[in-house]
């Protein structure tokens, strides 16, 4: 996502920004679905043609456009995973929904976009950044749990 933002800013504004700035842009104005109220964010970088520092303001709509291919790939991956899910697990997913984890899950309105595309309820993990590692650790400690939740090829 950060790379997509960096490239969008470079192409649209001829402004070079770093990965940390792209991360900040994503956190402040990035979204996967239209926000209730538009927001803007001021960013600083180096103008590629003039070679001098420059400040611009971007909107949530611009950053949503920058992230659209990445978000589309996430949606497709979720749809593909659901399509390959055994029927008994599908019933659980319809009843209980999907819990989103990881840093990408924190993108504003990603849950709304995924819910709209899949028709499945979604919830955010309490600790989205650490839950991936904690869950993997639990599976490695409990082989039966790993076998139970694995999807056969």
Three-state DSSP string of the chain: CHHHHHHHHHHHHCEECCHHHHHHHHHHHCECCCCCCCCEEEEEEEECCCCCEEEEEEEHHHHHHHHHHHHHHHHHHHHHHHHCCCHHHHHHHHHHCEEECCHHHHCECHHHHHHHHHCCCEEECCCHHHHHHHHHHHHHHCHHHHHHHCCCC
Class (C level, CATH) for 2-66: alpha beta
Dig out the tokens for 48 from the structure. Answer: 């590629």
- Ranges for all domains in the chain classified under CATH 3.90.640.10: 2-66
31-65: pLDDT as tens digits: 999 999 999 999 999 999 999 999 999 999 999 99
Is it true that domain 86-149 has CATH number 3.40.470.10? Answer: no
How confident is the model over 143-147, as a mean pLDDT? 73
56-81: pLDDT as tens digits: 999 999 999 999 999 999 999 999 99
pTM of the model: 0.79
- Ranges for all domains in the chain classified under CATH 3.30.420.40: 86-149
Closest by Cα among 19, 1, 105 to 63: 1
Answer whether 39's CB lies under 8 Å from 28's CB.
yes
């Amino acid at each position: 996502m950060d790379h997509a933002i960096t490239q969008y800013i470079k192409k649209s504004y001829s402004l070079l920004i770093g990965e940390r700035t792209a991360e900040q842009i994503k956190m402040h104005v990035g979204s996967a679905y239209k926000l209730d109220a538009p927001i803007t964010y001021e960013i600083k970088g180096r103008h590629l043609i003039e070679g001098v520092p420059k400040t611009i303001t971007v909107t949530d709509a611009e950053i949503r456009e920058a992230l659209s291919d990445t978000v589309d790939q996430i949606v497709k991956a979720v749809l593909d995973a659901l399509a390959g899910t055994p029927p008994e697990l599908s019933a659980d997913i319809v009843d209980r929904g999907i819990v989103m984890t990881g840093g990408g899950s924190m993108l504003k309105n990603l849950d709304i976009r995924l819910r709209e595309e899949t028709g499945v309820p979604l919830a955010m993990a309490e600790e989205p950044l650490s839950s991936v590692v904690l869950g993997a650790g639990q599976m490695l400690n409990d082989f039966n749990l790993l076998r139970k939740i694995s999807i056969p090829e």
